[in-house]
């Protein structure tokens, strides 16, 4: 088993004064102020995170640019791989985000609307820089391509856009496979149903994607503790586990999670 990565994530929005701030919510809603993005990035860098994710959570929905000044200040504080997402629509956006200090860009809405952006980004900057993010939600109808059994019911997983605000009728597993074939270097799988609940990752969703692709998969949404990381690694096959709330509110440290996993023979970096 390859070494598993533990990745804290900050969801950044503009506060009422127009200043970047970190927010935490449930099911992509009910956002509450959590802290300053630059200070939080510095703390996670020092805490032993393997990577760090910065998501501008309203840039796509509001049609504005990513907060590159803030990205640059965050990049100055972290010496681990930095992934930045939100509002990235064009090859030039990818270039400017990488120039601001990101090591990778996470693209969701724009890639679904223009899949050629994946090819263009991979060719221009290398597959290792292109992370395709999906905000998935369960659907219990017959419109999907790939189905999973969840609590005795059959469902499929739909890609959504604009921060989960709009559906697309596109099957997550089908899109993940296409994104891989177009050159995506990593897949970032978020579950709207599990987001912020701390009830555990959506293992059926993550496993469905991991079973279909060979590209590394980051599991996101729903982590309530180290046992959830263990489950998504061992039962779904995720390559990395992303968490926010448990780290933001000091319920667990990154070291706590790594020690728990190491005690159960899941390889991690110390």
Q: How far, CA to CA in Å, does 145 sit from each of 101, 183, 227?
A: 38, 22, 31
pTM of the predicted model, to two decimals? 0.93
**Residues forming the active site:** 11, 135
Query: What residues contact 140, with CB distance under 8 A and at least 6 apart?
Result: 153, 154, 155
Distance CA 71, CA 65 (A): 12
Domains and CATH numbers, the chain: 3-261 (3.20.20.70)
Q: How confident is the model at residue 96 (pLDDT cuts 50, 70, 90)?
A: very high
Distance CA 128, CA 216 (A): 10
156-168 average pLDDT score: 90
pLDDT of 171: 98
Q: How confident is the model at residue 32 (pLDDT cuts 50, 70, 90)?
A: confident
93-115 average pLDDT score: 96
pLDDT of 196: 84
């Amino acid at each position: 088993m390859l070494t598993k990565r533990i990745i804290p994530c900050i969801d950044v929005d503009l506060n009422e004064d127009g200043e970047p701030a970190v927010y935490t919510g449930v099911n992509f809603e009910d956002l509450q102020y959590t802290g300053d993005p630059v200070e939080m990035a510095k703390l996670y860098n020092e805490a032993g995170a393997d990577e760090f994710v910065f998501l501008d959570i309203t840039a796509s929905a509001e049609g504005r640019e990513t907060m590159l000044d803030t990205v640059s200040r965050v990049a100055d504080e972290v010496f681990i791989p930095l992934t930045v997402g939100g509002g990235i629509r064009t090859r030039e956006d990818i270039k400017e985000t990488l120039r601001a200090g990101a090591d990778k860009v996470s693209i969701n809405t724009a890639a679904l609307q223009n899949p050629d952006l994946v090819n263009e980004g991979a060719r221009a900057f290398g597959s290792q820089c292109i992370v395709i993010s999906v905000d998935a939600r369960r659907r219990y109808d017959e419109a999907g391509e790939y189905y999973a059994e969840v609590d005795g019911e059959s469902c499929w997983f739909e890609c959504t856009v604009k921060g989960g605000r709009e559906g697309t009728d596109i099957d997550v597993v089908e899109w993940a496979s296409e994104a891989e074939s177009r050159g995506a270097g990593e897949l970032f799988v978020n579950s709207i149903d599990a987001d912020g609940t701390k009830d555990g990752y959506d293992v059926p969703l993550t496993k469905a994607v991991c079973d279909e692709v060979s590209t590394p998969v980051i599991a996101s949404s729903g982590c309530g503790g180290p046992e959830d990381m263990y489950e998504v690694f061992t039962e779904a096959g995720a390559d990395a586990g992303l968490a926010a709330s448990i780290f933001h509110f000091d319920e667990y440290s990154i070291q706590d999670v790594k020690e728990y996993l190491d005690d159960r023979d899941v390889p991690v970096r110390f």
